[in-house]
Amino acid sequence: MYPMLEVRHLRLVRAIAEEGGPTRAAARLHLTQSAVSHQLAELEGRLGVALFTRVRRQLKLTPAGARLLDAARAMLVDLARVERDLQYAGSRRNEAFRVSVECFTTYHWLPPVLAALAADHPHVDVRIVIEARREPVAALLRGELELAIVSSPVRDRALVVEPLFDDEWTVIVPPSHPLAARPYVTAVELGHEKLLTHDAPRSDVERLRELIASERAPMPLAARVPLTDALVELVKAGLGVGLVSRWAVAPTIARGEVVARRLT
């Protein structure tokens, strides 16, 4: 038994429903109006059910037609995806999608996003470019990246900038540290600690210095720890107080391994 539905039928029903009638559907499908009407009559004859009813010179979907339209849209999307994937597989060509995140080396939220991207676009070779983390915008402008995720302001008009989420600098200490009992940490209190920071953008470092200077607080002894995971381990061991981006250590805070306090 031959199938009643063919791909051309799915495209026909979608076009008539979305265009409101056979005239514009014919133009969309590059057919004559009579050909569209003939194909619709043929399809309804095959199925033994009306798919459209005429209301004020427009064709409206019947319940059966609405059911077929939903299925047609889903199947045509899947078919287009399969065709695209087979074309890439046949040409043995993978499209690179290179991503870098400014400075921070904790990627707890990024892999699931990239995994979803790879699942939707299997022909795309998704890569995280660690080497570009210090100057991702420059790498983007040189064509070495397709996407840069940054915390510093970007003003280059050659780039499209989309906000992802808000973040803040936070002080992290081990639960046993005296500052853990405080509701927040002041610049004066920070000045008496050994400060551990990851590779913060220069603009953020300058803002921190301005805050400390405005409070006339002593400048803390600071050490840069490029790896966020290493910084967290040093803080947990009581070897310093961390000043980090909150999202970078959110899982560690949630597990109670460190206590986070806002810097004011």
Res. 4: pLDDT tops 60: yes
Q: Decide if 107 contacts 101 (C-beta within 8 A).
A: yes
CB under 8 Å to 18, separation ≥6 — which residues?
Answer: 25
* pLDDT value for 226: 76
Cβ neighbours around 72 below 10 Å, total:
21
Single out the residue of 75, 8, 62, 57 nearest to residue 36, CA to CA. 8
Instruction: Kindly write down the DSSP assignment for every residue of 32-44, as one continuous string.
Output: -HHHHHHHHHHHH
Helix pair angle (7-19, 63-91), 10° resolution: 120
Whether the CA torsion 104, 144, 114, 161 is positive or negative: it is positive
| DSSP tag of 220 | P
What pLDDT is attached to residue 45? Answer: 92
* Strand-pair category, 95-101 with 147-149: parallel
Give yes or no for residue 176 having a pLDDT over 90.
yes
Whether the CB-CB separation of 214 and 185 falls below 8 Å is answered with no
Say how many Å lie between the first and final Cα of the chain, rounded: 76
Query: Residues of the chain with pLDDT > 70: what percent?
Result: 88
pLDDT above 80: residue 214? no
Residue 107: what pLDDT? Answer: 67
Average pLDDT over residues 236-243: 92
The CA–CA distances, whole Å, from 3 to 36, 43, 173, 230 equal: 20, 11, 67, 62
Q: What pLDDT sits at residue 121?
A: 81
224: β partners: 197
Given a cut of 90, whether residue 63 has pLDDT beyond it is yes
CB 194 within 8 A of CB 204: no
Q: Residue 264: its pLDDT value, please?
A: 81
In tens, the pLDDT along 77-89 reads 888 878 877 776 6
Pairing of strands 194-197, 221-224: parallel
Out of 91-105, 217-231, 249-263, least confident range: 91-105
Reduce the DSSP state of residue 115 to 3 states and report it.
helix
C-alpha dihedral sign at 190, 193, 194, 198: negative
Q: Which amino acid is at 96?
A: A
Convert the pLDDT of each residue in 28-39 to its tens digit: 899 999 999 999
Mean pLDDT of the chain: 84
The pLDDT assigned to 52 comes to 94
Confirm if 133 and 227 have CB atoms less than 8 A apart. Answer: no
Classify residue 246 by its DSSP letter.
Answer: G
Phi, psi (rounded to 5 degrees) for 24: -70, -30
